[in-house]
Amino acid sequence: SPTHQYRADFERSGKYSASFARYLRQPHKASLLGWDEYRWDGDTTLIQGEAYQQTSVRASADATWTSVRWLLTSKEVEGSGASQWMVEAVFVDEPDDAELAAVEPLAPLEEPERRQIFAQLDTDESGAISPESFVGVVASLGFPREQAEALAAATDTDGDGAITFGEFSALLSKVNQQASAAGSFARLVTDGVRATADAAQSPHDVVTKVLRALRDEPPYPLYGAEVAIRYCSPTNPAAQLTPATFATYLDEPH
């Protein structure tokens, strides 16, 4: 595709063929050159002028398959008035679920940060948060009310009808607890505090946040798709998709 990052770079340098040959000699691209057999993995996904196709290649009958994901875009052929599918990007050997599970854990908030949040929720300055107030806050983040009420009951560990700082702090410490409402709430609060404190997030922070949003149990439907779209560059066509459309792509087996 004319917008493929390497084509644009190489054409600017005036050394397209030689530079592209050197690019293909990178170790992680070796499977694209040395394959003896390939297979289609799943159907092609078409989304607003883009096509996604998963394939696998291997060098011999007893070799391990290497995954290759293709992104194609429909581009007008200059001077013809017709469109043609062209390669926009190729992703080789992307991380599997086990590798995604190894994402660096999110560091819990420090005690001063937790106390500041607690003070904002302790509106009557009684030293505790009422279950009703807590349920309202959790529901405002997109959790179903029934789930918010269950989380409030679970957080009030002594059952006295009030959430103390110790109980609230224990909840926020569950930031890396997977597949739970407590973990989802703790991550949402932690992410919000960190984003406010440091609007200029590092590339590592953005990648980690998107990976977690797509992998973990969502606090509400399409949450992962919303986060992924939020961090898409304005030049990425996915930035224009609705969460429901983006989720259609995510439902593909690859």
Find out whether 82 and 76 touch, Cβ atoms under 8 Å: yes
- The CA distance from 242 to 92, in Å, is 27
What is the per-residue pLDDT for 12? 55
pLDDT in tens, 222-234: 778 888 887 777 6
Which pLDDT band holds residue 159 (cuts at 50, 70, 90)? very high
Most confident option among 21-35, 117-131, 171-185:
117-131
- The CA distance from 182 to 191, in Å, is 14
Reduced to 3 states (helix: H, G, I; strand: E, B; else coil), residue 80 is coil
pLDDT in tens, 209-254: 788 888 776 766 777 888 888 777 766 777 767 777 777 767 666 5
- The CA distance from 42 to 249, in Å, is 12
pLDDT in tens, 169-204: 999 999 888 668 898 899 888 877 876 665 556 777
What is the per-residue pLDDT for 117? 93
Provide CB contacts within 8 A for 110, sequence distance 6+. none
Alpha helix positions (H), the chain: 5-13, 16-24, 30-33, 97-100, 111-121, 131-140, 145-155, 165-172, 181-197, 203-215, 223-230, 243-250
